[in-house]
Amino acid sequence: MNKNKRSWFRRHKWMLILLGILVVVVFLVVGGGQRTTKKQFVTMDITRGNLSQTVTATGEINPVNTVSVGSQVSGTIEEIFVDYNSTVKQGDKLLTIEPSVLQASVDEAKASLESAQSQLTLAQNDYNRSKILYDEGYIARAEMEKSQSTYEQAVQSVKRMQSQYDRAVTNLGYATITSPVDGTVISRKVDKGQTVAASFQTPDLFEIAEDLTKMQIETSVSEADIGVIKTG
């Protein structure tokens, strides 16, 4: 009997080895799966805490009040007297524009004004004579009224020429650009010799910050974020 058993084991030795290996593998798979699926819980006491919502944004730091200085007349820049970070007072000279063309306009307007004034003097004297002759009955009323109309037109002509002359003088004054406020030059956009064209819009020459000790942050914040912000 023992011989038969030993003989049977010898014949089925490899089958028994494979069966044992299969049992071990099944045991490891089943045991490992149970361990990985085991749930663990962590418990703690309920407490009250602080909940905060933070809004962040990026932007630029700029002066609170910045003044742009431009030119109302066209021409070539003759001289620049300030630069970046220059401290200026109200009325200080910033630059000058070459004034020859503007001066020619003043001279032309002055000549036209003087001519109109001469015509006014002549028309006034003629009207005074015509009025005297009409009062004495030497000329017709129509002739006197004609001299009166010529005189009134001469008065209006003088006013028109005076206005043109004043405008030309004012434009000549604009050839000198001065600071409108006290502050610091933070931007210079032109150079000496550059042509300034003020035909369609006023060109920007300088930017002056009134007070650099007062600054502000200019930024964009989402409406959804800024809507929940309150004082405190």
Q: Pick one of 1.10.287.470, 2.30.110.10, 3.90.1150.10, 3.30.470.20 as the CATH number of 99-174.
A: 1.10.287.470
CB 182 within 8 A of CB 88: yes
Any residues with CB less than 8 A from the CB of 67 and at least 6 apart, and which?
A: 180, 181, 183, 207, 208, 209, 210
What percent of the chain is helix, strand and coil (3-state, nearest 5)?
Answer: 45, 20, 35
CA angle 16, 22, 28 (to 5 degrees): 140
Strand partners, 206: 69, 188
Q: How confident is the model at residue 69 (pLDDT cuts 50, 70, 90)?
A: very high
Q: Where do the structural domains in the chain lie, given as residue ranges?
A: 2-35, 65-95+178-227, 99-174
Q: Between the CA of residue 97 and those of 74, 76, 103, what are the distances in Å?
A: 8, 6, 11
47-61, 66-80, 122-136, 150-164 — which is least confidently predicted?
A: 47-61
Per-residue DSSP letters for 175-226? TEEE-SSSEEEEEE---TTPEE--SSSPPEEEEEES-TTSEEEEE---HHHH
Region 41-51: what's the mean pLDDT? Answer: 86
When the pLDDT of each residue in the chain is averaged and rounded to a whole number, the result is 86
pLDDT of the residue at 214? 86
Q: How confident is the model at residue 50 (pLDDT cuts 50, 70, 90)?
A: confident
How many residues belong to the chain?
A: 232
Tell me the pTM: 0.63
pLDDT of the residue at 101? 92
CATH number of 65-95+178-227: 2.40.50.100
> Higher pLDDT residue, 146 or 8?
146
Tell me the Cα Rg of the chain: 49
> Higher pLDDT residue, 49 or 161?
161
> Higher pLDDT residue, 232 or 214?
214
